[in-house]
Structure 1
Amino acid sequence: MRLLLVRHGQTRSNVRQLLDTAAPGPGLTPLGEAQAAALPEALADEDIEALYTSTLVRTQLTAAPLAAARGLNQIIRDGIRELSAGDLEMLPGHSRGAERYLRTVFAWAAGDTAPRIPGGENGKEALARYDAVIAEAAVSGARTVAMISHGAAIRVWTAARAVNLDVTFAVARPLRNTGVVILEGTPADGWKALRWEGATVEPAGESGPAGEPLDHTR
Structure 2
Amino acid sequence: MGQGLRSPIGPRAVHLCVDMQQLFAPGGPWPTPWAPRILPVIVELAGRVPGRTLFSRFIPPHAPEALPGTWRQLYSKWREVTQAQLAPELLELVPELRRFSPPAQLVDKTRYSAFSSPSLLPLLAHLGADTLVLTGAETDVCILATLFDAVDYGFRVVVARDAVCSSSDAGHDAVLHMLSQRLSIQVEVAEMEEILSAWRTADAA
Scaled to the shorter chain, the TM-score interval is 0.3 to 0.5
Q: TM-score, normalised by structure 1?
A: 0.33
Using CA pairs under 8 Å that are at least 6 residues apart, name the structure with larger relative contact order, 1 or 2: 2
Structure with higher helix content? 2
TM value normalised by structure 2: 0.35
